[in-house]
Amino acid sequence: MFKAIFFDFDGVLTLDQTGSLTTTRHISKVTGIDPRRVEAAFALFNDDLTRGKCTHAAVWADIRRALRADVDISLLEEAFASTPLNNEMFALARRLKPRYVVGMITDNKQDRMDCLERLHRLSSDFDPIVVSAAVGSTKADRAIFERALALARVEPAECIFIDNSVRNLLVPQEMGIVGMHFDDVTNNVPVLLGQLAERGIVLDDAT
């Protein structure tokens, strides 16, 4: 019997495949800087930011140099806030919550998730929220999933993890967690609902 369902964030609970895409698009639009240069500037620090080895504030001077522009860091918060949420998936999570632990496991920057928590109160729908930057481990490792299991107080076989990347399902499946791939291109929520039903997952009636 399943007790917990964990969602990835970007590409599952959002309409953008990655957070980097959201950030790049917004900063490029506001500043007029070529999106390829914006993407490259942030990519220099992406792994360290995602693993919590540094913060955007700590490397912002380096990012500005890479951008070759005096961009105020306040624009970063605007970029975070521009994240388009997938309302259908949030509605699904709310229908699951009365019967299951509903959590989030995400490879993400802590300051971004803190911003989105303030803006959308993500923790009202997802608990626990396990962020790679806080754990120091991405979904390529077991540690982030082990933390989620410990916080939810469940065993691997009692969990489902939903992600838009097949690669991100490999480690949890090796651990005994049931992985479900969500097609972020088609955003086909009915297919996911069918997969959940096949596993015996019961949804509360939508309100």
pLDDT range class, residue 206, cuts 50, 70, 90: low
Superfamily of domain 4-16+85-198: HAD superfamily/HAD-like (3.40.50.1000)
C-alpha–C-alpha distance, residues 196 and 161, integer Å:
11
C-alpha–C-alpha distance, residues 192 and 92, integer Å:
10
3-state secondary structure of 124: helix
CB 152 within 8 A of CB 103: yes
pTM of the predicted model, to two decimals?
0.96
57-76 pLDDT, tens per residue? 999 999 999 999 999 999 99
C-alpha–C-alpha distance, residues 100 and 98, integer Å:
6
pLDDT range class, residue 138, cuts 50, 70, 90: very high
Region 12-24: mean pLDDT is 97
Structure letter (DSSP) for residue 200: T
pLDDT > 70 fraction of the chain, expressed in percent and rounded: 99
Residue type, 196: L
Name the residue ranges covered by the structural domains of the chain: 4-16+85-198, 19-81
CB 11 within 8 A of CB 107: no
The string of DSSP codes covering 33-96 is --HHHHHHHHHTTHHHHHTTSS-HHHHHHHHHHHHTS---THHHHHHHHTPPB-HHHHHHHHHH
C-alpha–C-alpha distance, residues 159 and 101, integer Å:
9
- Mean residue pLDDT across the chain: 96
140-171 pLDDT, tens per residue? 999 999 999 999 999 999 999 999 999 999 99
- Tokens 């490792």, residue located: 141
67-116 pLDDT, tens per residue? 999 999 999 999 999 999 999 999 999 999 999 999 999 999 999 999 99
pLDDT of residue 70: 94
C-alpha–C-alpha distance, residues 121 and 184, integer Å:
23
pLDDT of residue 201: 96
pLDDT of residue 207: 47
Residue 191 pLDDT greater than 70, yes or no = yes
